[in-house]
Structure 1
Amino acid sequence: MIDERAPGLVLHSPGGTRFHFDPGALCLELLPTGGPGPYARYEVLHRPSDLEHWLGQSRLGLPPGAVRISDDQLAAVRTLRDALWRLTAARARGTGAPAITADHAVLNRAAARPPLVPQIAPDGTAAAPLPGDGEQLASTLARDAITLLTGPHADRIRECGADDCYLLFVDTSRPGRRRWCSMERCGNRHKVRALRARREQHEA
């Protein structure tokens, strides 16, 4: 059973199976919404309301209306997401990003703006930030990305070990041995394939 309160997202596989995916960082939660090149077919951020919906699903957990998003600001968040895809994928694969300088500039421009302002509720719990806009959201995401890419976990950005899965996550586990986007999906699929292979070998 999926714990809806756990950090991360509830995603759907191409076959329609729901699974929990915790990439370990806010900025990486943005990547499954689409991306550059082959990831464009997964695009879900078509309207500002789509980004508002993602905000409610993300670890920010913001209610509708907490962030006002214009069409131009939505486009800026998508540009930020695409840059982040290239930078984190290059880090995970140990390769150089083709436009790494330009992508760093995208992050830096967004981060230079004021971020969303966190708030505390009367009961001491986190509250929705003061009404903000898409530019502040982009700044919050860019700052989180810069902290990740320049911090102690930068070398723990991983790509899922499944051949047909390209989800990215940061391995924050103590041993640093996380291989799968989700044990519910790719981890279990690997176990099933390994078990089948052992049975076939035994029966041969």
Structure 2
Amino acid sequence: MNLNHVFVCGNPALDFAATLRARRSARFEMFVTPDRLNAWYLESGVVDMIVPGTEDGVEQATTVREAIYQLVTDRRLGGGFDAESLGVLNDAARKPPATPQLTATGRRTEATPEQALSSVARCAVELLSGPDVPLMKECGNPECTRVYIDRSRGMRRQWCGMDSCGNKIKAAAYRARKRTTTAPAAQ
């Protein structure tokens, strides 16, 4: 199952947190089935092969995802970490992660959903305790709640991605300018 997820955040943990879209408005859930969750693990490159998951695995993943989002928000806004979210993330990170293996054809990572989730949780631990914290920004699209790593020159990036949000905002601004400049002539 290929869902063509968008990976624009610069870190697997941030891309994972972004799988609940439009948190402030329409809230679109990407992980509605175990297959969709497993598709994300595969498409993200966290694993190369994953065993089928369960509904409990989806519930566990969404709980960890929400903890990651909360902790990223806490860190980005300069506050202390939410204790419950910290416990959820650390519990997931303590589990055995997906382990890459060297094969005759290269590297291959096979995992259970729990191992894949542990790998994502460990990415979050590394991100939130590492040098990229000052580079985290929330997308400038008011309807988007993705947080991304801004490695642009001068840290001037405004959107999580041009295809997903930047073009929408620029097109809307252009249409608004066009309406403003043509409105007086219509009178």
Is the TM-score greater than 0.5? yes
Identify if the C-alpha distance between structure 1 residues 165 and 149 changes in structure 2 by more than 3 Å, giving closer, same or farther.
Answer: same
Match of 1:74 in 2: 58
Mapped partners of 1:96, 1:21: distance in 2: 27
Match of 1:104 in 2: 86
Mapped partners of 2:173, 2:115: distance in 1: 46
Match of 1:14 in 2: none
Shift of 1:25: 0.7
Mind listing any 5+ residue stretches in structure 1 that lack a counterpart? 12-19
Q: 2:129 aligns with which of 150, 159, 163?
A: 150
| 1:110-136 deviations in Å (ceiling 9; x for gaps) | 111111001234244x32x24x32221
| 1:56-111 deviations in Å (ceiling 9; x for gaps) | 22233634xx234333333221110011111223333x1647x7111111111111
Q: Once superposed, what is the RMSD of the aligned Cα atoms?
A: 3.0
Q: 1:54 aligns with which of 40, 57, 71?
A: 40
TM-score if structure 1 supplies the norm length? 0.73
SS in 1 for 2:148: strand
TM-score if structure 2 supplies the norm length? 0.79
SS in 1 for 2:164: helix
Is it true that 1:87 corresponds to 2:80 in the alignment?
A: no
User: What is the one-letter code of the residue matched to 1:100?
Assistant: D
Q: Is the Cα contact below 8 Å between 1:67 and 1:133 reproduced in 2? A: yes
Shift of 1:33: 2.8
Match of 1:17 in 2: none
Q: Is the Cα contact below 8 Å between 1:160 and 1:167 reproduced in 2? A: yes
Q: Is the Cα contact below 8 Å between 1:158 and 1:171 reproduced in 2? A: yes
Shift of 1:197: 5.0
Match of 2:102 in 1: 120
Identify if the C-alpha distance between structure 1 residues 39 and 47 changes in structure 2 by more than 3 Å, giving closer, same or farther.
Answer: farther
Mind listing any 5+ residue stretches in structure 2 that lack a counterpart? none
Shift of 1:153: 0.5
Shift of 1:31: 2.2
User: What is the one-letter code of the residue matched to 2:45?
Assistant: R
Is it true that 1:182 corresponds to 2:182 in the alignment?
A: no
Identity %: 33
Q: Is the Cα contact below 8 Å between 2:46 and 2:116 reproduced in 1? A: no
Q: Is the Cα contact below 8 Å between 1:84 and 1:145 reproduced in 2? A: yes
How many pairs align?
Answer: 181
